[in-house]
Every structure is written in C-alpha cells, then in structure tokens.
Structure 1
Amino acid sequence: MNNKFFKSLVACFALATSGMANAGLLTYEGATQNVGNCIPFGCPDSYGPHMGFVYQDIDAFTLNVGDTIAFDIGAVNDSELSFDLSLSATTVNGGTTAAGFSFVSSLGAGFYGDTVVGNYDLIFTATNTFTFNGGGLIVDFLNTNGPVNDFTYDQNLVYGNNNPNAVGRYYRGATAGDVSEFDSYSVGNFQVNTFDAIQPPTTVPEPSTLAVLALSLMGFASRKFSIKAK
C-alpha cells in the first residue's frame, strides 16, 4: 500500500473518532449495594474536618468545568451537608499517599440527601479542571458547615460489597489525604460523568455514524490517490 495513502487512512480514522474522546460515564460500585455508616455524609461535623475515600484501578478521565462527580446517599441527613471536594492521584496504584490535591467543586446549599439507592444524588459540579491519568484516586471531603456536632450519626452512605476498586477510607483528617486514621470499611460508590461539561455546541456522533464517516473519508482519499496515479 502506498505510504501516503496509508497515512491518509489513519488521519481519516482519527478525525472520524476524535469526537468520542473525553465523553463518558464511569461508575464504581460493588456487586451488592448497602446503606449504612455515617462517614462522611451522616456525621460530617463529628469526624472532621477532612474525610475521604481511596480507590484503585480507576480509569483515566478529565473533569472539565460543568462535568460532575457524584456519590450516593440512601437516607436523609438531619443536618445540611456542605463540603469542598478535592481530588488527587496516588503515587502508587493501590496506595494511600497523595500525589497532590486539586480543588474541584463545592456542594451547593440545601442538600440533605434522599432515600433512593442508585441515583447518585450527591452531585459535585466541577468548577475547576482535573486531569487523572488512571490508577489510584483519593477523594477528599472538607466539611464547610462550621463546628456543628452532628451526633445523630445518620447511616446514609451507599457502598457496595466486594468493590474491587475500594482501598479504604480516612476520617479525622487535619489536612486533605490525612490517613492517620484509616480503615477499609464502607468505601462509597461514585460516578464520574464527563458528558456534562460546558463545551462548544457540538455533538458526539453515534458509532455507526462515525463508521460511515470514516468509510466516506477513506473512499475520498482512495479516489484522490487513484487520480494522482494515472
């Protein structure tokens, strides 16, 4: 095959599929869902100011402004929830040492959670970009609701049994990622939605449309090189 023609085919395919990049829904949960444990959403003012989850084997993603990362609450909390959310890769996949945190979002006012399991109702909408290359991820929640002692300990966290992505959780952290108090229980389910980013007014084509477009471009390239060869 002519080398220039082959390069043209590669370029055509890349053009046809480029719209699929950075668009997706990633969900990390165990096989069986449970509602229980108050850390961090049922007692945010009692075990703080920093609490969080550590995960492993997470796919690469980029949160742009407008994208969301969400968690699931299965019971209504008696106190309003208010958090700053920061994210960090770990230095080693499966480890607990943060490579460096980035502030991503603050939870809006008036949120108490609901009783629906699986709707990922605790939604943080990104106000800053965060690029994650895959592997270990730490999610840090900073309580911003003031020194209110929430001693009712509402058991509202939704988490899954046998979640292969769960490493553990930490609480009573003085700073983001402080794992001085750490265990492997009740690591929350979460979901990353990169369809929601505020983008220019373009749409992501369906795979079948992309295939037709790729074939059309390849046909055009073939005809172009055929004419040149005459």
Structure 2
Amino acid sequence: MKPYDTELSKKEEVRAMFDNIAPAYDRLNHTLSLSVDRIWRRRVVRIVGRLHPRRVLDMATGTGDLAVMMARSIPEAHIKGVDLSEGMLDVARRKVAARGLEERVTLEAGDAETAVAAAGSVDVVTVAFGVRNFGDLGRGLAELSRALRPGGRIVILEFSTPTMPVFGRLYDWYSHRVLPRIGGWLSHDRQAYDYLPRSVDEFPQPEEFLTILAAAGFRDCRARSQSFGIAQIYTAEKC
C-alpha cells in the first residue's frame, strides 16, 4: 500500500508524504492520540534503558521524539537517528539542538533497506511507528538484524488493530472517520491521514509479525499489547 496514487515507489511516496506533513506532525500525533503516544514511547525507553546500550540505531526516527527521550534517559548511550524524510529530520535537528544533545544524537537521511550502520555495530535498534512504512518489510528487518551485534535487541513500537469487539468497532470508526478529517485539515494532506488507518489495517497482526521477525534473524520474539491493542511493543534478540 502507498500513500498516493502515483507512479512513484512506496519509498518515494512515503518520503514525500512525511516531507508534506512534517510541520504539523508532532501536534497531530499528540492531539489525535490524546498524548498516549508519549506513554508508549516512555515504555520503549524503559525497555531500552534496562539493556544499558552504548550504541542505539533509531530507524524511522521522524521528528526525533524517541531519540531525544532515549538520550535524556540513558546518559551512556549514543543514538543514531535515520529517516527517509529531510522535512522530518529538520524538525528533529531543532529538537536535538534545543536540548544540547548534538554530541549524543546524530541524524542522517536513509532507510532500513540500505546499509546505514556497519554489521554488528549497534547494541539496540528501535523503530517507532515506522516498520509499516518500509518499502520491503522483510528486507528492512534483515538489514536491521545485520546492524546489530550478536545478542543485540530490537524494540519496535507500532500501531495494531484492537480485537475487543466493542472497543474495536469504536476505534475503527475513530481511525477511519474522525482521524483522516482532523489530520487532513491540520496537515493539508488528507491522503496522508487516509493512508494511516489503511496501512494499519494491512500491517500483519502480532502473531504474524513475530513470525516475520523470526524469519529476519531474530529469536525470543515477543509482543506487548498497549492500550487495548491500539499499539504493540515488539521485542526480539538477534540470533
């Protein structure tokens, strides 16, 4: 699935989409989730902190929220944030500079399917709300596995589809009816916020995604449901 109906590849369309919505992205994230996304990220940071990493690769870093949170909470860690969108990275760079974290957070353009880190060079890989945008999910996860040292961990935060009948129907109405209207109005890109719920619908369910992680070179693959299944935190160890 792609955000727009063009001849461009998914990767190119995703880059263009995030360039378009970068100025409004943070405000929309926090508004549309009622700031619950901050709670989920803090949980990811706690998981990563218990691993005591020195080198963290934050793939699809976006506007840098997770990278900044990790840098502030894990003082021994250096975080490398990578994202397709220069528009998103511009916002992230301003956050990093405002907090005086330039020596501990580096940011660069790139994607999960190309070599963004040397083999075995990082202790932890994180991805927050980014894996469903990978052009090639299996290849991207395999590349992230390659970047990890043996025994390194991956921690992924991603949207999911709630399975509780009543809550699931309510959330489906909100995500397909309300969210695209508000997101489109504030970002001036309705297609981007139509894409969000559709991309969540198409993303593998937790059990299937754990199987994909295992096929990409991971073991001890686990999923932790967040907020009645609106999101999942996936953790796995490099084989």
Band the TM-score falls in, shorter-chain normalisation: under 0.3
| Higher helix proportion | 2
| Higher strand proportion | 1
Indicate the structure (1 or 2) with the bigger Cα radius of gyration. Answer: 1
Q: Which has the higher contact order (CA 8 A, sep 6+)?
A: 1
